Amino acid sequence: MKKIRSKFLTAVVLIIGIAVMFPVTNAFASTSGSTPVNVAHRGASGQAPENTLAAFDKAIEFNADYFELDVQMTKDGKLILMHDTTVDRTTDGTGAIKDLTFEEIRRLDAGSWFDQSFAGETVPTLGEALDRYKGKIGILIELKNPELYPGIEQKVADELLKRNMGTTDNSDIIVQSFNWESIKQFHEILPSVSTGVLISNAQTIEGKITNEQLTSFQTYADYANPNKGLLDQDTVDRIHQHKLKTWPYTVTDREWAVRLTEWGVDGIITDYPILINMPASATTIKTLVERFEGKELSSTEAHSLKVHLTAVTQYEEKGLHEKVIKHMNGFNTLLNQQKENGLISDRAFNVLLDEATFLIGKW
């Protein structure tokens, strides 16, 4: 009995020693397998014109947890939502945002470039987005090119304070930027609002996010949000060890969504929220087809694709591997035929083909 007790005490001491030498990681530790926060990039921008109310509405419809938007400032000091520094790509106008008044920008069509069904969509203000979506969905605000707009940090803070969105800790509002000095400034103005640093390849040290950078970030930010290509398991772990969360950008295919989730990222910024909140399956692909239908492909072509997918769903339920693969290969053949004949948009073709290829590999 004494020998058993002695062995037990020895084991306890050994376990305690290991715990001291290798302590449990903090609360931000990687949680491989958990579902990341689903962030719709510029709204659900894969299926609606980016940075418009239509895209933000679809982010809610598609069950995203947050949507991301880009804030810039007009010639007369209004905060509007647009990614580029000019209006050329996403409207029917031309010119730099900083050289145009709000009324000039407001008259532009911000939807037709994406699809004619969105004709007449206007460029929204930050205030309109905050008023429309406050309490309905989280909002990730990017200060876009703040170096072009002196004082934009204070103006964004004022918009939040005006709506009582900055007086206490607001977990549903996050402000981020590639301009780290701008985020430092915003944090000093409104420390109760969570902040994040965006990280591009050019901002790394020889392609790596260093511990020195992470140590600096944690003094004024809560999130380190890099280009997805900058991440690996070690980098995700180091971000968490510095008590930061990470929401990488921008995911447009299932393979990256799965990889990042396995590494334990806290959120994923994506053009297609469905990649995060629905598993790879024929049912998911069918949902994507339905969302593209009428805009990116005709109802006739969508019906042909859905016939294949309905059969695959039945084979999936029965675990018939060979039939799943055979019919998904047929689906891909049909997709390619539609592409060759100009019956499907490049955007829809690429997304559906990626999903179908991933599903075939899964089986």
Active site residues: 41, 83
Q: How far is residue 26's CA from residue 31's CA, in Å, rounded to a whole number?
A: 11
Q: Residue 17: count other Cβ atoms within 10 Å of its Cβ.
A: 10
> What phi and psi values does residue 289 have, to the nearest 5 degrees?
-55, -45
Strands 223-226 and 193-199: parallel
- As given in the structure block, the two tokens for residue 160 are 């939040």
Q: For the chain, how long is the longest CA-to-CA vector?
A: 88
The CB-based long-range contact list for 198-205 (8 Å cut-off, 24+ gap) reads 198/142, 198/225, 198/226, 198/249, 199/224, 199/225, 199/226, 199/227, 199/230, 200/226, 200/227, 201/227, 201/229, 201/230, 203/178, 204/230
Question: What letter represents residue 282's amino acid?
Answer: A
Residue 98 burial class via C-beta count within 10 angstroms: exposed 0-12, middle 13-18, buried 19 and up: middle
DSSP structure string for 134-156: TTTSEEEEEE-SGGGSTTHHHHH
How far apart, in whole angstroms, are the C-alpha atoms of residue 359 and residue 340? 23
Residue 285: CA count within 13 A, CB half-sphere: 32
What angle (nearest 5°) sits at the alpha carbon of residue 353, between those of residues 350 and 354?
85
State how far the Cα of 148 lies from the Cα of 32, in Å rounded to an integer: 40
